[in-house]
Each structure stands twice: as C-alpha cells, then as structure tokens.
A and B are shown apart, each in its own frame.
Chain A
C-alpha cells in the first residue's frame, strides 16, 4: 500500500525538527516542504487554519498540527522504535514532561536572551530553576526515555541543541556544566544519535538567522 507522508516545516524550528527526528527514527519516508514565514504557502494555511504554524503533518490526506499531537499519532501508527513506554504510569510521566517542556522552556530561554539588561538576572534564574527540574528527572539514565530516546528526549530537543544556539547567538549562558552535569551529558548523547544528528539545523546558519531576524546587537552581555 502506497503511503503518502508530507511534512511542512521550517529548517530552524525545533518543533518541526522533532517530527523529522521521529520519522527518521522509525524509518518513515516523507516529502518535506520548507516554509517561508513571510510568505506562508497556501497548503500550510489550508492544513492549519487555526494556528497557521509549522509543523503540519499529512498522512494519506489526513492532516495534523501541533508537534506533540503529531508525535503520538506517528507512534501509534508506525509501531517500530516506540517513543512512549507501555506502562500507563510511565506514559503519563513522559507526557507530563513533554508538555512541561513545551509550555515553559522556549519562552523562558527566549526571555533570558532577549529581555532588558535589568531583567536578565531574574530571567536567567527562572530558566535555571526549570533546567533543574530536568536535571533531577534524568536520574541515572542515559536518556529521559531510559536506554533509548523517547518522547521526552525529542521534546527536549530545545534543550539538547537549540539552547546552545541561543546562548551563542545572544551571548547568554544558561546551561552550565558544573550546575547541570547530567543534562549536559544527556545533550551530547542526544545529538550523537544518528536520527537526531541528521536532523539538526547547521549551527552557524541558525545563529546568523537569529541574529539577523531578532537584531542581536540590541542584547547586551
């Protein structure tokens, strides 16, 4: 049976890259379209009229938006390399952390990088508290998912890769090795997994994009 799998994304977005990471992990072939934010394609607007955002995933004509919703759909449809555990309590735990990451982290990192100088210290402290939760959650495991990467690892791609990009682009230090040894270790393990490595945007290109788009000359160290 011929499967038609489409993904509308943005090369720099951690959210659309999450979907690519899982598709790669499960060996699913797909057709990718990169979106230009200043000129969103008719397809994107048609498939995601509510949020008008990437990623948008289309499987045999059925379309979905919201990265975590898409990830669970992919996991339920293609059963190889599951990203959620079988036990209901562990599944609830994974969903909890994935949602927490989505709700809090990117906005906290963003705030730390782009706020006014006098607010910087407080914003960095708040981000630090958030990072501490994940540092604690790792315990002695290699990944949040245990021995293999799972939903939380993929949701945490923001911390695993994009965080360092933001740090470099905006000259802010957020993930210090002395303070977050497990999280730093996890990040280097995470980015060396081949399904992940192949789906990371080039750092210099992303740094340049962020600096150009968001006028990094305004942020002071």
Chain B
C-alpha cells in the first residue's frame, strides 16, 4: 500500500484530534490536516466515520481509521521505520494501553464534569481529577523507569494519550483558579508536562492556553455549559 496520501481530519482545539498528528510527527510522515467545521459536520466526516461522526479520522489512501488511540496504534504498525510508539514487551504495552484507557474513560470524564459543575458537585469532580493525577504520577514513576517520558527516552502511547489533554488541563487550572499539576504533589508529571509540550512532535499541534480560553468562552456562550465534542 502506498504510504503517501495521508490526511487527518480534526480540529485545532480537540485533544484527541492532536493524537494522530503527534504520532505522524514522531514518524516524520507528511500529512494534510483538514480542519473540520463540526457545525455542520462535513460530508467527509459523516462518510468516513458514519458510526460515531466524530473527529479525529485518519484517511490513509482511501481507508478511514477512527478512534484516536486506535489511529495511533495503526500509525505505529504501518510506519515501522520511524521510532516506535509502543514498547516491544507485551506487558509494557498492556500497561500503556491500560492507562491510556483510564485517562480517556475515567479521568477525562472527571475533567469534563469539572468544567461545568457548581458547588458540591464541583468539589467532587475536582477530588476525582486530583486523585487521578496522583495515580498517574505513580504510573509515571513505574512506566518511565527514571527516564523522560511514560514511553522511556521518547514519547510513547501513554504520553500521547495523556499529554494531548495538557492544553485543556492548563485551561481548567486557569478558569477554576486551581493547581492540578503541582510541584509538591505531582513533581514527576510537572517536569514531564514541560518536556512533552516542548517536544518537536508536539509543539506545532498543542494549542495555546489563551486561544483555548477564548474558544471555550465562545463554546460556553453557544452551548450554555455543555461539554465540548469528545473523542
């Protein structure tokens, strides 16, 4: 199969949308970024992801691949000459997949809840978010084995899964006036976050906090506090 002709359908603000782009950057694969309009959803999106109708979609040749972390694994399996995104040991791979699923299912749900919650409910979500970060701090210690990233010397699957959420995490800190990543409680993650955001594969696709802040105000005004499109 021809390895050229790679498109990513996504948005500049969506964390899952960043993930395929980071993976392609790691592999030095040239791709065309198609900015999805979302409202209304484009014909291309509806045709290439008829089940979920969500971004991101990777279009490789004429084949669409959906679900951000599945796309990342696909990229890793197709472009084998570039640096590996998943480790080679099956157990290490399973641990990366486990935590990536945790981030997307449990932790992200708490983050989304936090954004629109009030009062007691807000405190409950905040507790869930910080407990999750404590777990991820511990996971970082075990996965990184003293190295820079969850994936070791280089960005790996879990770095991409969790790191793609850093833009929104910083936004949440700013809007809520809380410190989620904290030098005292999550020192490993604080340093990891700096390294992740500074990485060449990430820098060009990570949205700026100010830009996200402006965008979130627009979204909030339109949707009256409902969470933004997920996945």
Contact = CB atoms under 8 A, between A and B. Distances in A.
Interface of A: 50, 59, 62, 64-66, 68-70, 72-73, 76-77, 88-89, 91-92, 95-96, 99-100, 133
B102 interface: yes
B8 to A, nearest CB: 14
Interface string B42-66: 0000000001000000001001011
Contact of A89 (B63, B98, B101, B135): B63
Q: Which of B51, B71, B78 has the most CB of A within 10 A?
A: B51
Contacts of A62: 91
B110 to A, nearest CB: 13
Given A72-B93, A95-B67, 10 more contacts: A50-B102, A50-B106, A64-B91, A66-B97, A66-B98, A69-B101, A72-B97, A91-B73, A91-B74, A133-B51
- Specify the main secondary structure of chain A where it touches its partner: helix
B19 to A, nearest CB: 14
Interface residues of B, number: 23
Interface in B129-180: 135
A108 B179 CA distance: 37
Nearest to B58: A92
A69 B98 contact: yes
Interface string B77-91: 110000000000011
Contacts of A88: 74, 77-78
B70 A92 contact: yes
Contacts of B71: 92
A69 B67 contact: no
Nearest to B91: A62
B74 A76 contact: no
Contacts of B91: 59, 62, 64, 73
Nearest 7 pairs of A and B residues by beta carbon: A88-B77, A76-B90, A73-B94, A92-B74, A95-B70, A92-B65, A69-B97
B90 A73 contact: yes
29 contacts: A50-B106, A59-B91, A62-B91, A64-B91, A64-B94, A64-B95, A65-B98, A66-B97, A66-B101, A69-B94, A69-B97, A69-B101, A73-B90, A73-B91, A73-B94, A76-B93, A77-B90, A88-B74, A88-B77, A88-B78, A89-B65, A91-B74, A92-B74, A96-B65, A96-B66, A96-B70, A99-B67, A100-B51, A133-B51
